[in-house]
Amino acid sequence: MTVNRGHGSGGFWWWLMQRVTGILLFPVLLLHYVATHLQTSHFVEYDKIAARVATPTWKFLNIAFLTIVLFHGLYGLWNVLLDYLSKKPALRAVLFSLIVTIGLALYVLGLVTIIPFSA
Amino acid sequence: MERQFRIYRYNPEVSPTPSFKTYTVDVQPAWTVLDALNAIKWDQDGSLTFRRSCRHGICGSCGMKINGKNGLACEIQVESLKGVITVEPLHGFRILRDLVTDMDGFFAHIEAVKPWLIAGTPPTDGERLQSPEDRKQLDGLYECILCGACTSACPSYWVNDDFLGPAALLKAARYVMDTRDEGFAERVDVLDSRNGLWRCHTIFNCVEACPKSLNPTEAIVKLRQKLTALKI
Ligand code: FES
């Protein structure tokens, strides 16, 4: 009886990153939620939002939010899929590439949306 | 008192489809489910097949699903169960016949974590002594009787029988947490593998299933902490 250990794949650093992004997600999400959805001091207007998004602090926060959410969400999905893929190495490789591609595409899309805002 | 037992029957040599058969047993006071199974086998139907050995909750042979919950047939009193008593083999393992499951994979996973003391130096006084405090750290880890109830209850194992499973990980923790053991680095390869520690999604079914009230989830967390300390 052999044991399928999935040699060389490890998992520690992925797991640790999932924990770290999970913890970071909480304050960043809270801040995003308060600023975006509970903002009652003025009406939501494009110019006001654009001016806020253009500040360096909000740019940093939004890029951090984008990074954390994408990693946490997609790795979470991958972690669920892995349960079903131990005996299917080819499908595992295809799905991993697909998730990485989707992640990178969304990341680039997010960056080109956030970065061009200027005051 | 007469009680009814609805028992999972499967014999691939006779029929590829499993079925349930109900037996009525005159149960004596303080009988366990295993006593009733023995009574059925000895007096009613010699073809009923199940594992048992010690009859005292020590050997781990009689793990099965009784009224939907994993447990040891030799520990569960018939009086504690209501209505018709349904007895099934442990879920998640290949069923060989009736209540007997294929435990080869389960034991291969136990073996994979090297369930023995790995020490670099020979013992000084014939025995490897330990302080009472160090020994106490092994409480809740050494008592496992390898019945398979926890691994059989684990949804991560149901979908992926390559996952080491809670029993093997608890067994690993029993040695990793032993202050006399120096084999953690040797076990990291299998613990930090794709089918190792990371396939546990902290569902806690194993904790509920263990007939010895052990906590494999906590053992897995301890192993993760130990691994984190090693890597960082
Ligand atoms: S017969 Fe040994 S544990 Fe039940």
Say whether both B114 and B212 belong to one domain. yes
Say whether both B86 and B157 belong to one domain. no
**pLDDT reported for residue A33:** 86
> B32-87 pLDDT, tens per residue?
999 999 999 999 999 999 999 999 999 999 999 999 999 999 999 999 999 999 99
Say whether both B94 and B110 belong to one domain. no
Domain boundary among B73, B101, B129: B101
Number of domain units in chain B: 2
DSSP per position, A88-112: -HHHHHHHHHHHHHHHHHHHHHHHH
CA B230 to CA B232: how far, in whole Å?
6
Structural domain span for residue B226 = 104-231
CA angle B29/B35/B36 to nearest 5° reads 85
Structural domain span for residue A91 = 9-114
**pLDDT reported for residue B174:** 98
Say whether both B16 and B75 belong to one domain. yes
Say whether both B64 and B129 belong to one domain. no
Per-residue pLDDT of chain A (119 residues; tens, 9 = 90+): 555 655 445 789 999 999 999 999 999 989 888 888 877 666 677 888 888 889 999 999 999 999 999 999 999 999 999 999 999 999 999 999 999 999 999 999 999 999 998 86
Number of domain units in chain A: 1
Say whether both B208 and B131 belong to one domain. yes
Residue B227 maps to which CATH number?
Answer: 1.10.1060.10
> B90-100 pLDDT, tens per residue?
999 999 999 99
> B111-150 pLDDT, tens per residue?
999 999 999 888 878 888 899 999 999 999 999 999 999 9
Residues 81-110 of A with CB under 8 A from B: 82-84, 86-87
Q: Is residue A119 in a domain?
A: no
Say whether both B170 and B138 belong to one domain. yes
Residue A108 maps to which CATH number?
Answer: 1.20.1300.10
Please give the model's pTM, rounded to 2 decimal places.
Answer: 0.90
Q: Is residue A39 in a domain?
A: yes
Say whether both B19 and B75 belong to one domain. yes
Q: Which of A5, A12, A83 sits opposite B227 (nearest CB)?
A: A12
**pLDDT reported for residue A4:** 60
Q: Is residue A2 in a domain?
A: no
**pLDDT reported for residue A7:** 47
Does the C-beta of B211 come closer than 6 Å to ligand 1? no
Say whether both B74 and B115 belong to one domain. no
Chain B contact set for A2 (CB, 8 A):
108
Residue among B67, B62, B69 at smallest CA distance from B86: B67
Say whether both B36 and B108 belong to one domain. no
What's the whole-number mean pLDDT along residues B168-186?
96
Does the C-beta of B55 come closer than 6 Å to ligand 1? yes
What's the whole-number mean pLDDT along residues B18-29?
97
Q: Is residue A29 in a domain?
A: yes
Residue B41 maps to which CATH number?
Answer: 3.10.20.30
Chain A contact set for B199 (CB, 8 A):
82-83
CB pair distance less than 8 Å for A11 and B193: yes
Say whether both B134 and B74 belong to one domain. no
CA B185 to CA B225: how far, in whole Å?
14
Measured in Å, residue A37 CA sits from the centre of ligand 1 at: 59
Say whether both B120 and B213 belong to one domain. yes
Q: What is the mean pLDDT of chain B?
A: 96
